[in-house]
Amino acid sequence: MHRVAAPAVLQWRFGTTLTQLLVQRYPESRLAFATMFEDAAIIAVGRGEADIAFVTGVAVAANLPAGLEAVPLTTITMQLAAAASHPLVAEAVDTDGRGFVRTLDQVLPYDFACPNRSLFCGIERGSRADGWRDDQLPRRIRYWVEDLQVLMSLIRSGHALAYLPDFALREPGLVRVKLSDCPYECVETTHLVWRPSAASGWHRYVAEGLQAIIQAPIAA
């Protein structure tokens, strides 16, 4: 049994790739995904309760015990997401295939959905929990949502906008709204954490394989 500890949002990002990688080499593999915020996930690896964890660079810098190793994977950039049916999108034109360009004055009057706690560490941060600079660009947050699936359903239905990880915008029916006049960008680095001294061959295979897959250049 291969035990993985990570916040739900990072399981979403890496879970399918990890599964495909393991099954390719170890067809009889079984995985157990434990949902926990990143500090708890690191502790679980340290105690031997999990084999690997997916966390952000902030957690690695603040809380990586001796004996554990963090393998850098990729960066996650938060992006403004909307349903394709949202009025904000209907009023814009996707001129380059990479998103609908709007200004802050056009975006901020609409309702937003936001978690009260960080999706990565679970710390309560209120209106800045998703990385949006509400101290500088206050939004109208109508929906406070802790559950990731509920958050996504509110966006897909067109009830709200949200500041989501870039990979979330691959979901059908969602589009990126690019802000032409926003000076801020929230970027998170991500890492795989493991204990090399207690690892078997599959741990290194996963660490090196995930890094190679995720960091491989995309063919033109």
What is the set of domains in the chain, with CATH numbers? 2-75+187-215 (3.40.190.10), 77-179 (3.40.190.290)
Residue 196 in this model has a pLDDT that exceeds 90: no
Res 205: pLDDT = 83
Res 218: pLDDT = 43
pLDDT tens per residue, range 75-112: 999 999 999 999 988 766 655 555 688 899 999 999 99
Q: How far is the CA of 34 from the CAs of 5, 6, 117, 147, in angstroms? A: 5, 7, 19, 16
- Determine how many CB atoms are found less than 10 A away from the CB of residue 216: 8
The pLDDT of 51-68, averaged and rounded, is 93
Res 219: pLDDT = 39
The pLDDT of 113-119, averaged and rounded, is 95
Residue 154 contacts residue 145 (beta carbons within 8 Å): yes
Res 108: pLDDT = 95
Res 140: pLDDT = 96
Q: What does pTM read for this prediction? A: 0.89
Res 201: pLDDT = 76
pLDDT tens per residue, range 9-23: 999 999 999 998 888
Res 220: pLDDT = 34
Classify burial at 110, counting beta carbons within 10 Å of its beta carbon; exposed 0-12, middle 13-18, buried 19 or more: middle
Question: Would you place residue 29 in the very low, low, confident or very high pLDDT band (cuts 50, 70, 90)?
Answer: confident
Question: Would you place residue 161 in the very low, low, confident or very high pLDDT band (cuts 50, 70, 90)?
Answer: very high
Bigger pLDDT: 36 vs 28: 36
Residue 54 contacts residue 30 (beta carbons within 8 Å): no
